[in-house]
Each structure stands twice: as C-alpha cells, then as structure tokens.
Structure 1
C-alpha cells in the first residue's frame, strides 16, 4: 500500500493525512503527532476529524502533554491497561476469596450464617484488600469496634474465625500469598461459654408434655431424640436411616462438629423413638426437609413447643436439650467425664469440663452421706467411752 501524503499544520510536530470517513465517501483528515520520548522518536495517531472531533489545536495539546510526561503514548497506555487488567485478574481480594470459598461448601444454614457474617463484619472493612494487605492493627480495631457496638464476644469470635478460614482457604488453594505472621495475627476475644442450660423437674415435665401434644411427628421425634441422645441439631439434620444400626445398637454421627465421624450408643429410649418414627419414601434422611432434601431448620416447631411448655426465654429448645442431657448424666454421679466427652462427641475435654461441677456436686452428696452416717454413729455411742478404732 503506497504511503499516504502528509500535510503540515501550523503546529510543529502535528500533521494530517486524508482518508475517507467511516461509512461515507467524503474525505476526512486523520491527525498525527510526532515527538521525542526517552531519546527516541514517537509517532502516533491523535484522532480523526469527524469521528473524534479532532483539530490541529487538540492534537497539539495531546503532543504537549506527551512531551511533559502527563500522558502516556497510546502503545504504553494500552500496555499499562493490559497489565492492570492482568493484575486485577490475579488480585484475590477477600471478596473474591469468599466467592470461591462459598463455591466449595455445601448450601445450608451454616453457609447462610457465614455469608451474613462476611457481608456484615468482614466485607465492609477488608473486602477489597488482599490478605497480605491486612495488618494486626486493622483486625484489632475491628474487634474493639464491634465489642463497643454491643456485639457479643461469641459473635465477634465467629466473625474473626471466618476471616481466618477464608485466608487459610486462599493460601491452601494457591490463590494468594500467606500473610507474614509478624504483620498479621488474629487475636480472638475471650468468651465465657461456660453457660449450661438446665430445667427443673417441673419445667422438664411441661416440656415432655408439650412434645407429646405436638401434632408434627417429625418435630416431636426430633426433640425427643435430641433429649435422649444429646445429639447436635446439625447432626440430627444429617442423620440417615443407614446411620441407625439397630442390630448393634449404635447411631453413626456423620462429621460431628470439630471432628471425624463417630458413633454413640443407641439407648432404649432413642431406639423406641426411631423404631416408631415414620419413614418418608424417596429420601434417606430420618428427619427430611422439603422435597426429601436434608433439613436445614426446625426452629418454628421447636419454638412452638418451647412456648407451649412455658420454658424460660433464654432456654434454647434444641441446644438446651443437649445441655440437659449432659447435665443429667454429670449430676447423676454415675458417668465419668471421659465417658461423657465421648457421648457428646467433644473433640477435647475442654468443652466437657463445664459439666464437671455437677459431677463434683454428686460426689459431694455421696461424701455427705458417709459423713452423716459416721456422725450418727458418734451420737449413738455411750458418753464417756472412746471408740476403739484399732483393728482387732
């Protein structure tokens, strides 16, 4: 293709060539600028007369900004834009990591709760940051601010724990660099989680009667099994009929909180509930949700039972039954802490220790029985005589 004729303008370093306007046959000027950059001559297109409304004066202004370094040449600008786009594609911010993290987790109540925590606590502060851009001071400020806002220590702890999980996930998947531990250390707030929920005999009797009166068989048996086994709500949601070993007398628990799958004994009360419980056709779950899928909530029915029984406002109808199961065994004095830990599928003994004082009370009562017996013997012996305690 022959070189097009160049026409000078009244501005040095600005010229134009004649071409046809796009879509028409009329002639149009295409302006170019010539200047030096870093010791080399740069020649580039400034714009078209009609399409870009380019004039010699505008072209000269572009040339001046290029020379002053206020604007990059077109080629360098495009390269910078491509580099920025590539960098953005590789920029795994907390928002991107969370989206990827969610795609690897099963849908359900736990994921919805974490999604709420992320968007409420983490995203507004760290959403657009890389993990390596977060400092210990940033996390400390967030923790202090949430506590000052009246958030419970346990709520803050859940939020910060989620932040740690997201970062750990990104590092494990090779999506981001691991933060320098000298720059980022996430300190959890201290949580007083020694609270145990219990019911007095009258409250327990009302609860049992409320369960008996509940027309929803699924909800009633769900509550009964929680009371008789101490299983967690999520464990009961995931319970399948194949997990119920009636022959050997065990219930297999799939992935209990904080540990691998385990099994617990199927006591007579639990067996009676399961044997009488209806099987829903087309689903493997003992307590299926809508469409036979895994259940994700039973809150409406459990709160209805709680209200009918007139239980205290702070009593959680499901987790409270787990505490009640554990408290009853611990206070009986017949179950040691290691056995109780295994029944509750606690990963460590730390969580089980909250019930230790109840066992201590049982041992103290047993000790008082011995003390009372010896006291009565002392009162019944003749005065003035010293009992012979030496062995014969």
Structure 2
C-alpha cells in the first residue's frame, strides 16, 4: 500500500490508472511506462524517475501478479484502499483523499515553474483549443527532465 501511495504522489496519476497498472506496461530499459486506458481515452507514456525505478525494482522481487499493485479481489489489482488510508490518517493526523496526491503533484509542478504545457501532458489533460499547444511535440524524453525535477522536489519536501 505504501508503494501504491508513493507511486500516486510521484506520478500525479489517477488512482485507477495506477491500481490497474500492469508490469507489461513498464519498460525498465527505456525507463518509461504507458497507460492505455486513461480517463480522456488517450494513451499516455511517461518517463520513470530514479525514485520510481527503485520502487518498481523492489516490487519486482515480490512480483506474483500481472499487476504492479496486486489485490485480493476478482479484478486482480488493488481496489479497496479505505482501511489503509484511514490508518495513514490516524497515524499522521492528516485527512486526505487519494485525489489529493494528484493535486499535490500538480501544485508542486507549478511551484517549480514547469511549463503549463508539460504539466498538462504529465497529467494527461487535453490541450483543448490552444493553438500553440498543437505545435508542441511532447514525447517521453521531453517530459523526463520535468518529471525528475518534480521527484527531487517531493523527496526534498518529504525529507527522504
């Protein structure tokens, strides 16, 4: 559960996108991963940061499912998190939702002056009718530096 929460925080992804993440979507050679079933129905490929690579490598040792965050239910991946979130709330005294991790990721990204276009791409928000955005090529390598900067800022704030 701790790894799941960290993955949410360090990627800014939606809880279902992370919960249903399969090992087959992760490319440790290219240091990236691809989500095919996203809220906006557009596939998303993101770079893996050093921190997330370490997290995934430690999970691979205990790999026993096609899902990175396996669960006991019929779906095969982690679905119910309320009890664990409640335990974290009791321990920390901080009331939060899983979506707050996405908000935190977005706020940190903006606070460290990552471009709005990179931010939108990182969290898979559509560019709408922004003409300028249609000219920008946002491949996984373009997002690698911003993603690593966000990761380093989070590690600094978490004092890890």
Whole-angstrom distance in 2 between the partners of 1:238 and 1:322: 17
The question of 1:343 aligning with 2:117 is answered no
What does the per-residue CA deviation read over 1:49-83, in whole Å, with 9 as the maximum and x for residues that have no partner?
xxxxxxxxxxxxxxxxxxxxxxxxxxxxxxxxxxx
Alignment match, 2:62: 279
Q: TM-score, normalised by structure 1?
A: 0.31
Whole-angstrom distance in 2 between the partners of 1:349 and 1:340: 14
Deviation at 1:345, TM superposition (A): 0.9
Whole-angstrom distance in 2 between the partners of 1:246 and 1:271: 8
Gaps of 5+ in 1: 1-218, 351-392
Alignment match, 2:157: none
Deviation at 1:349, TM superposition (A): 5.6
The within-5 A match list for 1:10-49 is none
Whole-angstrom distance in 2 between the partners of 1:349 and 1:301: 37
- Are the counterparts in 2 of residues 239 and 286 from structure 1 also a CA contact under 8 Å? yes
The question of 1:258 aligning with 2:37 is answered no
What does the per-residue CA deviation read over 1:336-372, in whole Å, with 9 as the maximum and x for residues that have no partner?
001000100113469xxxxxxxxxxxxxxxxxxxxxx
Alignment match, 2:101: 321
Gaps of 5+ in 2: 130-160
Paired residues, number: 127
What does the per-residue CA deviation read over 1:194-248, in whole Å, with 9 as the maximum and x for residues that have no partner?
xxxxxxxxxxxxxxxxxxxxxxxxx000011111111110001110111111111
Whole-angstrom distance in 1 between the partners of 2:30 and 2:63: 23
Alpha-carbon RMSD across the aligned residues, in angstroms, is: 1.9
Query: For 1:251, what is the secondary structure of its paired residue?
Result: strand
Deviation at 1:308, TM superposition (A): 1.2
The question of 1:307 aligning with 2:90 is answered yes
Whole-angstrom distance in 1 between the partners of 2:117 and 2:36: 21
Whole-angstrom distance in 2 between the partners of 1:243 and 1:235: 11
- Are the counterparts in 2 of residues 222 and 287 from structure 1 also a CA contact under 8 Å? yes
- Are the counterparts in 1 of residues 4 and 19 from structure 2 also a CA contact under 8 Å? no
Higher relative contact order (CA 8 A, sep 6+): 2
Alignment match, 1:191: none
Deviation at 1:279, TM superposition (A): 3.3
Alignment match, 1:234: 16
Query: For 1:293, what is the secondary structure of its paired residue?
Result: coil
Deviation at 1:302, TM superposition (A): 1.9
Whole-angstrom distance in 2 between the partners of 1:302 and 1:349: 34
Q: Residues 223 and 349 from structure 1, CA distance in 2 versus in 1: closer, same or farther, beyond 3 angstroms?
A: farther
Whole-angstrom distance in 2 between the partners of 1:345 and 1:329: 14
Query: For 2:45, what is the secondary structure of its paired residue?
Result: strand
The counterpart of 2:52, out of the listed 270, 274, 277, is: 270
Structure whose CA Rg is larger: 1
Deviation at 1:300, TM superposition (A): 1.3
